[in-house]
């Protein structure tokens, strides 16, 4: 069976380091692994509207920002199809048929949706479109017959919902759809990078993000004010690694080579951590290392972004081409779905013949 990836992001803001370690970096590796027959990366504008319906301008503006972030992170339009969800109208049509296969109480039990409802104060009045978005996400995945969906662990309930819909569809109408598997980040640091303030999650609304498009000055300022160990007051004090954001970021980004290059007093991160815990290592030295490590990772991304920013029309063309390819794929699945449900009235001559026979013998 073909190995197919589909994944995506809601375009509600520029992408940050949390997105990068949690998914973008992995997508680029998967793209370059050559193991996948097709890769679709979706800018989920329609899903973003389910909780931003009153602010379509924000979503529209961020489509190009997210596309720029994708391309600058190293996604290669020759190898992946980057597309805009709302342009692939077949996805909406699939959603409509899948809605019959899911109960209201099942949607209300979805743990991710439950948390989001609380966060958005939707408790007293939930927009139908919002509650329904796991079904629409199942359409996104199944329209491409995706086998592999690289996501963070918060998305596991969505994949489970998609699998249930696939099973229900296939057992009701015949084998058409493919059950997808989630592909989770390979280590826990990458699953959820904390914000620069040490809070559990990097998030635009908390103002604790380092963006892929940040300048070197932004990064240096943000790292220097990062949360460390509040009890590590003097250099000579023993320091704690628990909840120490600077070390968490080093865990996510640092390689042994970085020590040789930027901090030859230590061979590797473990040696540096040991020294920090013993006492005698100041935060500033650790932060300087982190700035260098982040710069190594972000400088090429920033340079690629600058190139693409000079040619926004080119970025539009990439999105158009990816969207056309995605549309073709989704249309094929939709026609198989309708054939299985026998609602492809004008395409299946046997449907007409059945009536002919009934009334004219
Ligand atoms: N729900 C995802 C997010 O909030 C975005 C998304 C929409 C998605 N459709 C998808 C992810 C299909 C994976 C597969 O980031």
pLDDT in tens, 9-29: 999 999 999 999 988 999 999
- Say which DSSP state 194 is in: P
Kindly state whether residue 204 falls inside one of the protein's structural domains. no
What are the residue ranges of helices labelled H in 143-282? 156-173, 188-191, 216-224, 245-253, 256-262, 269-278
User: Same domain, yes or no, for 65 and 84?
Assistant: yes
pLDDT tens-digit readout, 301-334:
999 999 999 999 999 999 999 999 999 999 999 9
Q: Taking 80 as the threshold, does the pLDDT of residue 221 lie above it?
A: yes
Q: Taking 80 as the threshold, does the pLDDT of residue 191 lie above it?
A: no
Query: In whole numbers, what is the pLDDT of the chain averaged over residues?
Result: 95
User: Same domain, yes or no, for 69 and 173?
Assistant: yes
Kindly state whether residue 289 falls inside one of the protein's structural domains. yes
Q: Taking 80 as the threshold, does the pLDDT of residue 187 lie above it?
A: no
Q: In whole angstroms, what is the distance from residue 1 CA to residue 13 CA?
A: 36
- Would you state the torsion angle of the CA atoms of residues 139, 144, 145, 148, taken in this order, to the nearest 10 degrees? -90
Q: What's the 134 CA to ligand 1 centre distance in angstroms?
A: 9
Q: In whole angstroms, what is the distance from residue 178 CA to residue 336 CA?
A: 12
Of the candidates 299, 319, 298, 316, the one whose C-alpha atom is nearest the C-alpha of residue 16 is 298
Residue 254 has a pLDDT of: 94
Kindly state whether residue 208 falls inside one of the protein's structural domains. no
User: Same domain, yes or no, for 12 and 159?
Assistant: yes
User: Same domain, yes or no, for 318 and 182?
Assistant: yes
Q: What's the 209 CA to ligand 1 centre distance in angstroms?
A: 20
User: Same domain, yes or no, for 259 and 113?
Assistant: no
Kindly state whether residue 230 falls inside one of the protein's structural domains. yes
Residue 107 has a pLDDT of: 96
The token duo for 353 is 């013949």
Residue 16 has a pLDDT of: 95
Residue 123 has a pLDDT of: 77
User: Same domain, yes or no, for 112 and 47?
Assistant: yes
Q: What's the 161 CA to ligand 1 centre distance in angstroms?
A: 13
Last residue of a domain, one of 269, 292, 308: 308
Question: Mutation test of ligand 1: which of 4, 9, 112, 180 has the most ligand atoms closer than 8 Å to its C-beta?
Answer: 9
More confident residue, 203 or 35: 35
User: Same domain, yes or no, for 315 and 304?
Assistant: no
User: Same domain, yes or no, for 162 and 226?
Assistant: no
User: Which CATH number is 286's domain given?
Assistant: 1.10.240.10
**Cα Rg of the chain, angstroms:** 24
- Say which DSSP state 20 is in: I
User: Same domain, yes or no, for 25 and 55?
Assistant: yes
- What's the domain count of the chain? 2
User: Which CATH number is 70's domain given?
Assistant: 3.40.50.620
Q: In whole angstroms, what is the distance from residue 250 CA to residue 280 CA?
A: 19
The token duo for 36 is 């996948």
Q: What's the 74 CA to ligand 1 centre distance in angstroms?
A: 20
User: Same domain, yes or no, for 185 and 234?
Assistant: no
Q: What's the 66 CA to ligand 1 centre distance in angstroms?
A: 14
Question: Mutation test of ligand 1: which of 12, 20, 42 has the most ligand atoms closer than 8 Å to its C-beta?
Answer: 42
More confident residue, 153 or 149: 149
Kindly state whether residue 203 falls inside one of the protein's structural domains. no
The token duo for 170 is 């296939």
pLDDT tens-digit readout, 252-294:
999 999 999 999 999 999 999 999 999 999 999 999 999 999 9
Kindly state whether residue 132 falls inside one of the protein's structural domains. yes
Closest residue by Cα to atom 13, ligand 1, is 7
Residue with tokens 């190995």: 3
User: Same domain, yes or no, for 10 and 119?
Assistant: yes
Q: What's the 63 CA to ligand 1 centre distance in angstroms?
A: 14
User: Same domain, yes or no, for 157 and 47?
Assistant: yes
Q: In whole angstroms, what is the distance from residue 360 CA to residue 351 CA?
A: 14
Please state, for a pLDDT cut of 70, what percent of the chain lies above it. 100
Q: In whole angstroms, what is the distance from residue 192 CA to residue 22 CA?
A: 7
Kindly state whether residue 338 falls inside one of the protein's structural domains. yes
Question: Mutation test of ligand 1: which of 63, 137, 144 has the most ligand atoms closer than 8 Å to its C-beta?
Answer: 137
Range of the domain at 103: 4-191+311-355
Q: In whole angstroms, what is the distance from residue 64 CA to residue 306 CA?
A: 14
The pTM assigned to this predicted structure is 0.93
Contact 70, 22 (CB under 8 A): no
Kindly state whether residue 361 falls inside one of the protein's structural domains. no
Q: What's the 51 CA to ligand 1 centre distance in angstroms?
A: 14
Q: Any residues with Cβ below 6 Å from ligand 1, and which? A: 6-10, 44, 47, 137, 140-141, 149, 151, 155
């Amino acid at each position: 069976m073909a190995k197919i990836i589909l994944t995506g992001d809601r375009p509600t803001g520029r992408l940050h380091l949390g997105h990068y370690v949690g998914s973008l970096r992995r997508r680029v590796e998967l793209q370059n692994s050559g193991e996948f027959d097709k890769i679709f990366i979706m800018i989920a504008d329609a899903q973003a509207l389910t909780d931003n319906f009153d602010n379509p301008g924000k979503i529209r503006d961020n489509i190009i920002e997210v596309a720029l972030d994708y391309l600058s992170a190293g996604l290669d339009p020759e190898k992946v199809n980057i597309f805009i969800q709302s342009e692939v109208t077949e996805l909406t049509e699939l959603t409509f048929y899948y809605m019959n296969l899911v109960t209201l109480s099942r949607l209300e039990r979805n743990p991710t949706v439950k948390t989001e409802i609380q966060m958005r104060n939707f408790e007293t009045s939930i927009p139908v479109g919002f509650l329904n978005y796991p079904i629409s996400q199942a359409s996104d995945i199944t329209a491409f017959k995706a086998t592999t969906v690289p996501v963070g662990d918060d998305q596991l309930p969505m994949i489970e919902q998609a699998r249930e819909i696939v099973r229900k569809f296939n057992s009701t109408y015949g084998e058409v759809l493919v059950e997808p598997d989630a592909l989770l980040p390979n280590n826990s640091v990458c699953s959820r990078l904390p914000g620069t303030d040490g809070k559990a999650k990097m998030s635009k609304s908390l103002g604790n993000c380092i963006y892929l498009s940040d300048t070197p000055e932004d990064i240096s300022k943000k790292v220097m004010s990062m949360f460390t160990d509040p009890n590590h007051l003097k250099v000579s004090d023993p320091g704690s690694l628990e909840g120490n954001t600077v070390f968490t970021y080093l865990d996510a980004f640092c390689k042994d080579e970085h020590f040789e290059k930027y901090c030859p007093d230590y061979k590797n991160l473990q040696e540096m951590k040991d020294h920090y815990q013993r006492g005698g290592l100041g935060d500033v030295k650790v932060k300087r290392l982190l700035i260098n490590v982040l710069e190594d990772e972000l400088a090429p991304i920033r340079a690629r972004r600058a190139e693409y920013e000079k040619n926004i029309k080119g970025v539009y063309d990439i999105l158009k081409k990816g969207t056309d390819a995605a549309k073709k794929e989704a249309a094929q699945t939709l026609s198989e779905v309708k054939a299985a449900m026998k609602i492809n009235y004008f395409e299946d001559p046997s449907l007409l013949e059945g009536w002919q026979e009934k009334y004219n013998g």
